[in-house]
Amino acid sequence: MIPVLFRQRSMAFALGCWGFVLIGWGGLVVPALAREVEDGFAQTDVGLGLFYFLTSIAYAAGSVLGGMATERVGRRAILSGAAALLGLGLIGQGLTPDWVAFTAFGIVRSVGAGAIDGGGNGLVIDLYQGARGGRLNLLHLFYSLGALGAPFVLAARDLAGISWQAVIVGSGVLALPLAVVLAVTDLADGRARPHLAAGGRRSSLLALPLLVLAVAIGCYVACEIGVSNWLVRFLAAAPAATATSALGLYWAGLAAGRLVGSRIADRFDHLRFGIAAALVCAVALVGAVVVPSLGVSIALFTVVGFASGPIYPLIVAVGGERFPDRAAAVAGLIVAASVVGAVVYPPLMGVMSVTVGLPVAMIGTAVVVAAGAGALAVVGRMPAAGVEARSG
């Protein structure tokens, strides 16, 4: 048994933030290097698309299986192992000259990243039972910073004469110390606590409120990724630099929304706050699509990002409140459901673009996030499963 050297709650939270920077960064490394990766491995968009699909499935599997395993063996072992998988997967991707091996290492990396995502959310649910909304927003802010920083740093690498393979290897190296420190830090055990559930039994992961929360998170992420993936294409009439800047403003708005959410989320009911943010997002999206002014459209897409920011963390917080005895597994399931949203609607937008038009597909993202708000409203009408939610 590895001894615990660090017991401070702040230390555990800081490690979670470190992990979220890495998974945000790692998730954008290959997309930001798409041209170099395709040229280096003689691949087409079809091959890269298959890579994205396989790694997305691996991410979801890592999230679910990591959460379930945490309930049995504890959080330290799972999160430490996940960070090691993330690091080794990235290092392998940077070193291999073979496409099949690159894909296999990408799957390893994604399993680790998914387990960190679900495990980090579960960690915060357990550590901050009275301030989950704010802390989860802060945690996800670090994911946004990692995702936001990757394209800019990678774009500047040529100035330093660094190869893209070296960037990927270096990214992996940064994850290995995290694996070591996680192994010796008190991370709030994470094992299931049957005595907290109604009637002395564990909450079921098939409980209807949790399944509806899974629908809500899937809808939100379908909107977030749909806008992110297709915004530059939607603004095709604008100069390339303007369209790219609009995407940067969208992600900056998302990061700002999470920063504000970290300060105010716990002053409000998390469920109602999430519904309000989703509805504002939907209205701003419709406005951004139909308004004739490019400048106003870009400003509204920034508002979309800002309103989007708190939604994901708030849904996770609601899951923790409703199922306090299954924090690890619930967080893993919610993260996996978010991946489903990412792989279903955003690719469909490409088909819609060549049939009914990209503006209609963008309006569809507003419909999807509004459906997520509706799902949250349904959860609000359902009876709570856990003691914590009942004692409200």
pLDDT category, 390, cuts 50, 70, 90? very low
Mean of the pLDDT values across residues 52-68?
87
Cα 13 off chain centre by: 17
Pairwise pLDDT comparison (67 vs 170), residue with the higher score: 170
Give the C-alpha distances (Å, rounded to integers) separating 214 from 275, 331, 388. Answer: 15, 10, 20
Residue 72: predicted pLDDT: 84
Q: pLDDT, tens digit, for every residue of 158-216?
A: 777 788 899 899 999 999 999 999 999 988 776 766 545 445 555 565 678 889 999 99
Residue 387: predicted pLDDT: 43
Radius of gyration from C-alpha coordinates of the chain: 20
Q: Which of 46-55, 200-209, 253-262, 285-294 has the lowest mean pLDDT?
A: 200-209
Q: Could you tell me how many residues make up the chain?
A: 392
- Residue intervals of the chain classified under CATH 1.20.1250.20 are 9-190, 204-386
Q: Which of 49-58, 134-143, 274-283 has the lowest mean pLDDT?
A: 49-58
Distance CA 304, CA 288 (A): 9
What is the overall mean pLDDT for the chain? 86
% of the chain beyond a pLDDT of 90: 45
- Give yes or no for residue 148 having a pLDDT over 50: yes
- Give yes or no for residue 391 having a pLDDT over 50: no
Pairwise pLDDT comparison (293 vs 387), residue with the higher score: 293
Sign of CA dihedral 110, 156, 147, 364: negative
Phi, psi angles (nearest 5°) of residue 191? -70, 150
Residue 392: predicted pLDDT: 34
Mean of the pLDDT values across residues 230-251?
83
- Give yes or no for residue 150 having a pLDDT over 80: no
- Which residues are bridge partners to 185 per DSSP? 6
Residue 384: predicted pLDDT: 62
Choose the CATH number for 204-386 among 3.50.50.100, 2.40.360.20, 3.20.20.70, 1.20.1250.20. Answer: 1.20.1250.20
Residue 200: predicted pLDDT: 52
Contacts of 358 by beta carbon, 8 Å cutoff, 6+ apart: 230, 233, 234, 349, 352
pLDDT category, 221, cuts 50, 70, 90? very high
Pairwise pLDDT comparison (34 vs 76), residue with the higher score: 76
Q: CB of 106 within 8 A of CB of 89?
A: yes
Q: pLDDT, tens digit, for every residue of 263-307?
A: 998 999 999 999 999 999 999 999 999 999 999 999 999 999 999
Q: Which of 238-247, 303-312, 329-338 has the lowest mean pLDDT?
A: 238-247
Burial of 374 by CB count in 10 Å (0-12 exposed, 13-18 middle, 19+ buried)?
A: middle
Which of 83, 353, 327, 383 has its CA nearest to residue 207?
383
Q: What is the largest CA-CA distance in the chain?
A: 63
3-state secondary structure of 143: helix
Kindly report whether the global pTM for this prediction surpasses the value 0.75. yes
- Give yes or no for residue 363 having a pLDDT over 90: yes
- Give yes or no for residue 389 having a pLDDT over 70: no
- Give yes or no for residue 65 having a pLDDT over 90: no
- Give yes or no for residue 309 having a pLDDT over 90: yes
| Fold classified for 9-190 | Growth Hormone; Chain: A; (1.20.1250)
Mean of the pLDDT values across residues 231-246?
82
Mean of the pLDDT values across residues 42-54?
83
